[in-house]
Amino acid sequence: MRRKEGALVPLEVSILEAGIDLRLRGLPAFHGFLIAKEVKQRQDARLLTAHGTLYKALDRLQRSGFLESEWEDPLVAADEGRPRRRFYRVTAVGEAALARGGIITTQPVPQHRPGLATP
Amino acid sequence: MRRKEGALVPLEVSILEAGIDLRLRGLPAFHGFLIAKEVKQRQDARLLTAHGTLYKALDRLQRSGFLESEWEDPLVAADEGRPRRRFYRVTAVGEAALARGGIITTQPVPQHRPGLATP
DNA sequence: TGACAAAGAGAAGATATCTTCCTATTCTTC
DNA sequence: GAAGAATAGGAAGATATCTTCTCTTTGTCA
């Protein structure tokens, strides 16, 4: 898709929003599976058919500095009898990027095109 | 299916055989996924479409005392970046049960039935 | 404006174990 | 020999993360 430097694709916006929302609701960090459910609810639920998409987006956000992550203590996961989780937190940079308006791509902001209405 | 006390179903026979075979080849213990591959090779490969079947069989064998198991050290699994394994070992009891001829069910051994040949 | 290259989206599958639900088969009992 | 109970088999999905492959879209440059 190739994006403009610093722009956020819709899925990334959703992740950051959901992450901040969860934090406000008392959960300081989230893991992929959890955010998948969150995003599925708030989104058209049509995104995220496969999970690979989500994990790639998480990885991108992290590499951009919008998220930071750490692995769950393996002993805790073992204790609860499930695979290990990776916990993500939205950084200040991420929050700023979101506030700056991340809704860039996919819906090309009409640039100087009088007439030619798309219904 | 309901089995005769102490009998082994074909899948269980395969598991025990594969387990012993792996031990002879230098692997003292095996985990579900590994045995799944082994069994798939030696079997018609038609068994074991879903893994649930295998794990239930492993559980049965363990409850019968034919296998014993222990969980892998969570730190090792974490270190290798994969889910934890559960390691099984064929017990002496299991080996004996196999030697005693586990091939009981499914192919009913003809018991006192002169005539009546099944082609 | 047209072509190319970069990168996101989505499907699929690997890694592991385990649960639930339904179907099919077998053993036992009458 | 028929009926009923018990249980194995198989499909599907939950729990988590991540990789690889192909398809599609978008930005940029000529």
Per-residue pLDDT of chain A (119 residues; tens, 9 = 90+): 777 777 888 889 999 999 999 999 999 999 999 998 888 776 655 556 678 899 999 999 999 999 999 999 999 999 999 999 999 999 999 999 998 865 543 333 333 333 333 33
Q: Tell me the CA distances in angstroms from B26 to B18, B20, B48, B71, one per residue in order.
A: 12, 10, 25, 20
Residues 35-94 of B with CB under 7 A from strand D: 46-53, 56-57, 60, 81, 83
Return the bridge partners of B86, or none: B71
Q: Is the CB of A74 under 7 A from strand C?
A: no
Instruction: Tell me which residues of chain A have a C-beta less than 8 Å from any C-beta of chain B.
Output: 71, 74-75, 77-78, 83-84
Segment B83-113, tens digit of pLDDT: 999 999 999 999 999 988 655 443 333 333 3
CA distance readout (Å), B74 to A29, A84, B31, B84:
22, 10, 14, 6
Question: Which burial class, exposed, middle or buried, applies to A117 when counting CB atoms under 10 A from its CB (0-12, 13-18, 19+)?
Answer: exposed
Residues of A in contact with B71 (CB under 8 A): 78
Whether the model pTM is above 0.75: yes
- Measured distance CA(B61)–CA(B74) in Å, rounded: 24
